[in-house]
Each structure stands twice: as C-alpha cells, then as structure tokens.
Structure 1
Amino acid sequence: MEKVYVVGHKNPDTDSVCSAIGYAYYKNELEKSKTFIPARAGELTNESLFVLNYFKIKPPIHLETLEPTVEDLELKDPIFVSSDTPVYDVAILMESKGIKNVPVVSKSRMIGVVTESNLARVYVRRLKIEPLVIHPVSFDQLVRVLKAEVVCDYLKEKIVAGKVHIAVDALHVLLGKVEIGDVVIVGDNEPAQIALLEKGAKLMIIVNNAPISNRVLEIAKEKNAAVLRVGFDAFGASKLINLSLPVTLVMSKKFPTVTKKDTLEDVKEIVFTSKLRAAFVEDEKGKLLGVITRTDLMKDIKKKVILVDHNEITQAPDGVEKAEILEIIDHHRLGGLSTLNPVFFYNEPVGSTSTIVSEFALRDDVKLEREIAGILLAGIVSDTLFFKLSTTTPKDKSMAQFLAKVAKLDLEKFAKRVLKEGMRIPENVDPVSLLKRDVKIYEMEDESFAVSQVMTSDFSSLLKEKEKFSNALKSLRGELGVNHFFVLFTNPIEEASLVMVEGDQKIVEKAFDVEKKDGMFLLKNVMSRKKDFVPRIGEILRRERR
C-alpha cells in the first residue's frame, strides 16, 4: 500500500506534532487505498512528550530527510541460503531465479555472498585443492548432489569427509595413496573395487552405472562402508563432489550493506561502484531485509508527503525539494515553497493548525477517538497559549471546547498542565540546545533572520543566565547563516516577552519603539512570534531596503 508521510516543520512544536498525528488519522479514515504516517522533522519538546505520554500515543516517526531512502523502495523478500547449503544448490537457485548474487545467512545475519564468479572458480579451479577433498558433508546431501543410487549403506557416521581418489593410476600405486575413511571413484573393475574397500575406503562411487558384484557388497558390509552408483563418468563425479561443498568455503565475505535510512543517492554510489553491482539491506540488528540491484535504482522514487503547520522552504524538512508534495495545511504567512505539480493548499488565519484539522474532521463527519481529540486539543492550547495570543480566533475556542468534550477533559485544567510542561526548563540545559528547540528562519530577498521562542514563567531566572544566552545567540547566528538572530523569552502570565538580539539592535527599537535595558528589550503584549513579532520586524527590514 502506498505510504504518505504527514510531517510538520523543523524543530517541531506541539501543534506541529499534534496536527501531523491528527491529519494522518483523518486521512486514514477517508482514504483506505493509502497509508498516512505521522512524522516529525526534529526532536520532541518536553511539552510534546508530555502530551503524547498523557494520551499513550506513539511519537511520530523521525524523518531526518525527505530525500528518497531505501525504505521507499518496494523491496522483495530476499532470496538467501543457509551456511550449510551445498554450492550445487546455489547454482541451481541462481539459474532458476535469474539472479547473480545469493546471500548466505546464519542466525538471521548475513555472513557472505555467493556470486557467479565464486561458482566459476569452484568449477574451473577446484578451489586450487589438490588432491580433491570432501569437506565434512552429510551423506544424504552428497547422494542428492550426485543424483546417486545408494547400492548399500553401512556407514556408522553419516558425515563424509576426507581425500577423494580416482582410480586412474595402477592399482598398487592407488592403494599406496588411499587411507582409512577416504572416498574412491572407480569404474567397472571388481578387483580394484574389492582392494580399495579392503584398504579402508568408506565411500565408493561406481561410475557409468557399472555392475556391482555381491562380493563387493559383502566386503562393504564387513568394512562399514557405503557404495553409490552414478550414470556419468569419473570426471563428472569429481566435478559434482566439488559442488557438494558448503557455501561457506566459496562465498565472498566482503559485501556492501546499507540500512533503510540511507538515501538512494548514497546507495547508487555504493551499487554502481561495487563489483557485485548490488547492496544488501540490513536492519539495526544485522538481519537481512532485501537486496538492491541497479534495476531497482533506475526507477524514479520520491517520498510522498503532506506538509502541516508550515509552508516555507526554510522551515521544511531537509530534502523537501526531492519529495512529491501532495498537500499543504497551514495557518502561517505565505512562504517561498513551490511545487512542480498542483497541490491541495489550505491556509487559514487561525491560531493553530490543529484547529484546521479538527474543522476538517467535523465537516466530513470523521469520528475522532478520545486520544486523537485530546492530541488536537493540546495543539490548539499550545499554539494559542490557551487563547492568550493575539492570533486566537473564535474558531480556535469553539474547536477546543468541542475537542475537550470528545476527550472528556476539563479544558482549563488540561490547558494549565500542558502549558506548565511547555514552560518547564530543565536544570543545566545547554542554551544552544534550548534556543534550537523552537527556531524558525525567515528570508526576505537579501535579508534573512531567525526567531527562537522560549516559554517561561520566570524572567528572573533567565536574566541570571543572560551572558550564556548571548554567547549562544552568536554561535547560532553563525551556524544558521542568518543576518539577525532574535530570541523571545515569552511569559504568558505577565503577557510580555524579553527579547535578545544578535545583529542589528535598532531593528527592534524601530519596530516596537522601545529601548534596550540591561542588554534586552521588554515587549509588553507581544507573545505571538507569528503575529506580534515577525510582521513588525519584516516591515522594518522592507523599509530599510527602500
């Protein structure tokens, strides 16, 4: 079934995560021909983790890139053999399946690969083994490979091993070579057959369907030996004995492996430069999952995605330009994201993408499970700061009340718990990591700026760490390659934000008509990055360019 990933923006906040889960649920209810998978493009915040744990919902899968990866291929179940398989069976398998490489697996892990060149060396060079030797192989397996008639079998042990002798020398010379337990290949020569059994040969292979006397059979019984008869000559028998060897003696132990997370671009480089012209897919435990050949890589493979809670290229997951975007569901300003094909695009100026998803479900009579309703409610509460942000609309409030009823939750109590988790800053947290949790990049022609937002219930604790955050701003400005970096420390209780800037400080002064105090700007009634802060910063930057 075709997979479609529903994914939010980089550094996902709670609304991004919850709307992805909710929209995937909604689409799965309506379109049964596809599988919609909720995904995320970054690590989860404490608030998001709290919400997911509260409703016992698995986190969306983490997509490191939207570039096509191995998991986007339709891999067939791998054809492989076990470590004790004879080379003969591998050759038959290759011919019947039309394949050139056969993995060798032991305890679910790939330990080698048999190739056509491996088989050629066995057949032509006899593996450079002189004299011919049978490595330990079961009697039944040898009979099967030789397609032999078992004339008699008095072996006490059913494992055959030892040197193989062909009766071409003078008998006295051959008898000088044969040791107890060896294998002999002989034709229609009763005296030689008897002498070789008397000398201690444990397995005698009679070629050309030659007759076997009762006397030979009696001696075989006395000596606990076995006698086989085949229809081909001694040369053919020796070749097939070579092919009875276990694959572990002929396989290549070096082979290229990839994981399901590897991009197809990287896999192409591996496959096209490998002598095997193939790569073997393994999971994290080393289990073989499939084989990728050049034919697999000739197809035009793209991840199919639905973007939620963003429509700007700078906020989209890495590799979005190599994905096939099917839909965009958002509530932000229009960004610079473009597509090759027409897509369903829905953008509504409400406080949360989760509001839009809830509206769709209500419109299309999609029944929401209690957990999904709760997840979507958390997205609305988080993105509107429980209706305190200026982006909040009547629709956000009505949808939240509807969802609280479905989820059987006290709206106010639940909202306070969610926001409390969102404002909780772990002790000894790395300032750089904290600022990267919720940062968005904006581009305006030749200007670019980043805005990070950190929720807090206590400005005083942040002021103590002002120098650390200042250094973090400098580091991130360089790392992200932006002209300006702003961070909003937003306190919903005081309905204000403290702002630090790395870049042109006058931008904030002009945008909000405030002065910096102790290295920070206090902006009252500024809590929404999307509506209260970014538009005014953008207006100043536009004005300065004129």
Structure 2
Amino acid sequence: DHNEFSQSVDGIERALVEEVLDHHRIGMERTAEPITVINRVVGSTCSIVADMYRTSGHTPSAQGAGLMLSGLLADTVMINSPTTTELDRSLADWLSGIAGVDIEEYGRAMFAAGSQTGTMSAPEILAQDRKHYQENGHAFSVGQFEMVGFEEFWARASELQAALDQSREAAGLWCAALMVTDITTSTTLLVVSGPRSFRDRIAYPEPADGVYEMRGVLSRKKQLLPLLLEIM
C-alpha cells in the first residue's frame, strides 16, 4: 500500500521487496532487482486486489470480500472521498454482494466500532493513522481519525491538543496535525500544533484555538496536503 519507505512498515529497507501494489504517489527507493509495480489512480489498494480477482475470473470467499470491502470503505470514507473512482464504486457493489452486506449499514457499523475512543489514550489516537513528511524544507506529520459525530472529540479536545503539542516537540517537527473526520457530515476538524504564523494562513473557521472546521474535506492525500504545502 506504500511504495515510499518512509510510509511503509518498519524494517522495509532491510527487506527484499518483490512486488508493489499501491495507489499513492511514486517515491520508491532503488530496488536491488527488477520488480513488478502496479500503481493505479484508485481510492484504495484493496480495489486493485479486488479488480485482479474480478478480471481474472476468480471470486474471493465471503470473508475475503468482506476484508477487501472494509479496506475500500475505510480508504474512501464510505465512497465519499474525492479519491473515489467509478471503479471503486463498482468493486464495492461487487464485493458487498459476495460478502452479503449492505454497504451503508456495514460501513457505518465499521466506522462506529473504530471510532470508540474511550479505551484509547490520546497518544494512541494520534498514532493510529499518522504519516510523516519532509516537504518544502519542513518536517511535519498528519494523522487522521474517522468518527461518527464529534461529541467524543470535543470531550477530549484539550487533551488531544496537549498530546499533539508534546508529540511534535518530542519528534522535533515543525508542525503536527490531526484530521478528525466525521463520516456522517463529510466534515473534518483539523487540530494543528505549529507556528502561529502558519496557522493564521489556514483559511477555515477556527471554533477553538488550533482547531479548524473543514467542511467537505475528507482526503489527506488529495485535499489537505495540497493546502498545507501551498501555505507553508
């Protein structure tokens, strides 16, 4: 899912990479030998795998279809992200039929189960889906956490902001951010720890200090990163 070593599993630089399936930008390290690389502009790597099943005439098991559908819905925020393609939609329908689930019902249940923060510490929430970047001369990180509603976030907003400040300082980053995305309203609350001069250039409502309300923003890759790079 990540051809860039900085975004992949720990220890990948010591591994023999034999094949890459991905849907992110190209930033690969040099490989020791020729390898197969399949990189497609789709919403999820699970779509690539599912399409390989379908085009080869093979049908996955119900469990396998459910797993691929889960990854597809997670990556595309239930087919709502701007990264979603017609192929993603077609494959979601195909996989849901094999798995025997309703996309909307299953997706909501999946996100609701994953957004229960009561047993998670603030550092665990920040680290759940965090990516590190080195762009425009700055080192920064952006995490994302999907929720159903923002009630749990606002109850812990101060705690999360403090944890974000601490993690940024500990890692020596110029900036750190957390996208808290409500899948029911397609809205993201962006929590930012970084220079005030940078934060002042984020042209979105700021309902609380360092928290920006971004309606219609769901994708870190396609929507948020271009904005952050533009105002750095």
Tell me, in whole angstroms, the C-alpha distance in 1 between the residues paired with 2:229 and 2:180.
Answer: 19
Greater strand percent: which structure? 1
Kindly indicate whether the alpha-carbon contact (under 8 Å) linking 1:508 and 1:537 is maintained by their aligned counterparts in 2.
Answer: no
Aligned-partner SS, 2:6: coil
1:523 deviates by 0.9
Q: Which residue of 1 aligns with 2:174?
A: 483
Q: Which residue of 2 aligns with 1:529?
A: 220
1:506 deviates by 4.2
Q: Which residue of 1 aligns with 2:17?
A: 325
Tell me, in whole angstroms, the C-alpha distance in 2 between the residues paired with 1:515 and 1:411.
Answer: 32
Of 134, 153, 160, which residue of structure 2 is paired with 1:443? 134
Change (3 A) 1:501 1:329: same
Question: Unpaired runs of 5+ in structure 2?
Answer: none
Q: Which residue of 2 aligns with 1:492?
A: 183
In the alignment, structure 1 residue 414 sits paired with structure 2 residue 106 = yes
Amino acid at match of 2:203: D
Tell me, in whole angstroms, the C-alpha distance in 2 between the residues paired with 1:351 and 1:374.
Answer: 17
Tell me, in whole angstroms, the C-alpha distance in 1 between the residues paired with 2:60 and 2:28.
Answer: 33
Q: Deviations over 1:156-178 (max 9, x none)?
A: xxxxxxxxxxxxxxxxxxxxxxx
Q: Percent identity?
A: 28
Tell me, in whole angstroms, the C-alpha distance in 2 between the residues paired with 1:537 and 1:310.
Answer: 21
1:473 deviates by 0.7
Amino acid at match of 1:436: A
Tell me, in whole angstroms, the C-alpha distance in 2 between the residues paired with 1:491 and 1:344.
Answer: 37
- 5 Å-filtered alignment, 1:127-146, equals none
Kindly indicate whether the alpha-carbon contact (under 8 Å) linking 2:111 and 2:147 is maintained by their aligned counterparts in 1.
Answer: no
Tell me, in whole angstroms, the C-alpha distance in 2 between the residues paired with 1:482 and 1:421.
Answer: 31
Q: Deviations over 1:142-165 (max 9, x none)?
A: xxxxxxxxxxxxxxxxxxxxxxxx
Q: Which residue of 2 aligns with 1:469?
A: 160
In the alignment, structure 1 residue 368 sits paired with structure 2 residue 60 = yes
Change (3 A) 1:459 1:412: closer
Kindly indicate whether the alpha-carbon contact (under 8 Å) linking 1:507 and 1:537 is maintained by their aligned counterparts in 2.
Answer: no
In the alignment, structure 1 residue 516 sits paired with structure 2 residue 177 = no
1:420 deviates by 1.7
Tell me, in whole angstroms, the C-alpha distance in 2 between the residues paired with 1:422 and 1:506.
Answer: 34
Tell me, in whole angstroms, the C-alpha distance in 2 between the residues paired with 1:346 and 1:330.
Answer: 6
Amino acid at match of 1:381: L
1:458 deviates by 2.9
Of 316, 327, 332, which residue of structure 1 is paired with 2:8? 316
Aligned residue pair count? 231
- What is the TM-score with the length of structure 2 in the denominator? 0.91
Change (3 A) 1:505 1:396: farther
Amino acid at match of 1:528: S
Kindly indicate whether the alpha-carbon contact (under 8 Å) linking 1:449 and 1:482 is maintained by their aligned counterparts in 2.
Answer: yes
Q: Deviations over 1:361-389 (max 9, x none)?
A: 11222331111111111111111111111
Kindly indicate whether the alpha-carbon contact (under 8 Å) linking 1:509 and 1:516 is maintained by their aligned counterparts in 2.
Answer: no
Kindly indicate whether the alpha-carbon contact (under 8 Å) linking 1:441 and 1:450 is maintained by their aligned counterparts in 2.
Answer: yes
1:404 deviates by 1.3
Kindly indicate whether the alpha-carbon contact (under 8 Å) linking 1:509 and 1:515 is maintained by their aligned counterparts in 2.
Answer: no
Of 144, 154, 157, which residue of structure 2 is paired with 1:453? 144
In the alignment, structure 1 residue 431 sits paired with structure 2 residue 126 = no
Q: Deviations over 1:220-279 (max 9, x none)?
A: xxxxxxxxxxxxxxxxxxxxxxxxxxxxxxxxxxxxxxxxxxxxxxxxxxxxxxxxxxxx
1:408 deviates by 2.2
In the alignment, structure 1 residue 347 sits paired with structure 2 residue 57 = no
Kindly indicate whether the alpha-carbon contact (under 8 Å) linking 2:180 and 2:189 is maintained by their aligned counterparts in 1.
Answer: yes
Q: Deviations over 1:53-98 (max 9, x none)?
A: xxxxxxxxxxxxxxxxxxxxxxxxxxxxxxxxxxxxxxxxxxxxxx
Q: Deviations over 1:90-114 (max 9, x none)?
A: xxxxxxxxxxxxxxxxxxxxxxxxx
Q: Deviations over 1:325-362 (max 9, x none)?
A: 11111111223533232221111121111001001111
Q: Which has the larger radius of gyration?
A: 1
Change (3 A) 1:352 1:321: same
Tell me, in whole angstroms, the C-alpha distance in 2 between the residues paired with 1:518 and 1:414.
Answer: 33
Q: Which residue of 2 aligns with 1:400?
A: 92
In the alignment, structure 1 residue 538 sits paired with structure 2 residue 229 = yes
Tell me, in whole angstroms, the C-alpha distance in 2 between the residues paired with 1:454 and 1:482.
Answer: 20
Aligned-partner SS, 2:5: coil
Tell me, in whole angstroms, the C-alpha distance in 1 between the residues paired with 2:198 and 2:26.
Answer: 22
Change (3 A) 1:492 1:509: farther
Higher relative contact order (Cα pairs below 8 Å, separated by 6+ residues): 1
